[in-house]
Amino acid sequence: MAIFKRLCTCLSPLDSSIHNILIIFQSCYTDFSLFVRNRGSTLTYLLVYVDNVIITGNDSNFISNYTATLDFVFSLKDLGKLSFFLGIEVLHHHGPLLLSQSSYIKDILHRSHLQDAKPLRTPADSTATLTRDGPSAPDATLYRSIVGALQYTTITHPDISYAVNRVCQFMHDPRLYHWSAGKRILCYLKGTMHLGLQFFPSSYQSLQAYYDAKWAADIIDRRSHHGYAIFVGDNLVIRSSRKQTVVARSSTEAEYRAVGFATGEVTWLKNLLFELGVPCSKPHVLLCDNQSALYMCANPVFHNRSKHIEINYHFVREKVEQGLLIVCYVPTQDQFADIFTKALGSSLFIHVLDKFNVRTLPLSLMGDIKDKQL
């Protein structure tokens, strides 16, 4: 709400009508850059990032009037239907939305002089490990710049999340082999620029999350790696791939830490959706392939054997007891979060991408992409 308070102080008392229309939005507690106007069946959302703004809702007349009011106070440039925002191309295709960063990827390839590189089928070598040994990277500054840019690319390319997380762990002292791993990611993106993340209209009743962990995955410090993918309906909205901050003493502990992180994200997303006026009506479902972690989420007897796990992770069981969360078993071959914890073979990799709704951009829309910023 602070942005509107600062705005209102700039208005004179004669501008009471402008003042009234500017303060009707409420700032979300879950995301301070998101503002919501809820009036019965009318919903309007306003997303602000510095001087870039997205406004949408189900009342086109209000949006037009509100935009005109803001233009009276500021000098605005209305770009019409959303097509480009912060480096992300938004393509409208017969209902679903497709998010793409093809132009952004082209820029990264040009900066790394790999625009003519041979495409690869996967972003990471499933047989390779990254260590701190070997000669230094030829250009540490370029390495940090490219790897930082790759982090932003994971918004529309969840398929590179694990590979990018691995190379990010050596930013302080990159080696030649790390740069080779980074170039492999770029070669993969070279052949997948035509892919985008697709979002469908969905009438959902609960959130569904897949989570997984790979115990002692890092050969340097033996910390585990975990990842999760959270779906609203059929749409992948949150994904994460990260190394855990402490050493897990068992695979069960590593999995239980992963479910703690996933539960926290699901709780945050639930609160965000509630503020957006679209609450969930059923318990959320977490899916994992570790039976021991499932027992710990529901059976307090097992907690006597796991006192070394931080107490804050036990809030998962509280959610289960309150009926807000259901933790279920999923076979390993159907565990989509595997893509965030290890390098997969090409066939399994492609299978998971299909479940994430990573789709080829239609040629009819590719020609309409405009490289412009709001």
Average pLDDT value for residue range 119-147:
88
Q: Among 85-94, 115-124, 355-364, which stretch is predicted with the lowest mean pLDDT?
A: 355-364
The CB-side HSE value for 119 (13 A sphere, CA atoms) comes to 7
Average pLDDT value for residue range 178-187:
94
Confidence of residue 374 (pLDDT cuts 50, 70, 90): very low
Domain with CATH 3.30.420.10 in the chain: 201-355
pLDDT in tens, 71-114: 877 778 888 888 888 888 988 877 788 899 999 999 999 999 99
d(CA 374, CA 367): 19
Average pLDDT value for residue range 298-303:
62
| Residue pair 256/309 in contact by the 8 Å Cβ criterion | yes
| pLDDT at 170 exceeding the cut of 70 | yes
User: Is the pLDDT higher at 274 or at 312?
Assistant: 274
CATH classification code of 201-355: 3.30.420.10
**Which residue, among 156, 149, 157, has the nearest Cα to 88 in the 3D structure?**
156
Average pLDDT value for residue range 1-25:
50
Question: Which pLDDT value is given to residue 373?
Answer: 39
Question: Which pLDDT value is given to residue 205?
Answer: 75
Please state, for a pLDDT cut of 90, what percent of the chain lies above it.
22
Average pLDDT value for residue range 118-137:
87
pLDDT in tens, 219-247: 888 889 899 999 988 889 999 999 988 88
Q: Among 188-197, 252-261, 356-365, which stretch is predicted with the lowest mean pLDDT?
A: 356-365
Confidence of residue 19 (pLDDT cuts 50, 70, 90): low
| pLDDT at 163 exceeding the cut of 90 | yes
Mapped to the 3 state alphabet, what secondary structure does the chain carry? Answer: CHHHHHHHCCCCHHHHHHHHHHCCCEECCCCCCEEEEEECCEEEEEEEECCEEEEEECCHHHHHHHHHHHHHHCCCCCCCCCCEECCEEEEECCCCEEEECHHHHHHHHHHCCCCCCCCCCCCCCCCCCCCCCCCECCCHHHHHHHHHHHHHHCCCCHHHHHHHHHHHCCCCCCEHHHHHHHHHHHHHHHHCCCEEEEECCCCCCCEEEEEEEECCCCCCCCCCEEEEEEEECCEEEEEEEEECCCCCCCHHHHHHHHHHHHHHHHHHHHHHHHHCCCCCCCCEEEEECCHHHHHHHHCHHHHHHCCCCCHHHHHHHHHHHCCCEEEEECCHHHCHHHHHCCCCCHHHHHHHHHHCCEEECCHHHHCCCCCCCC
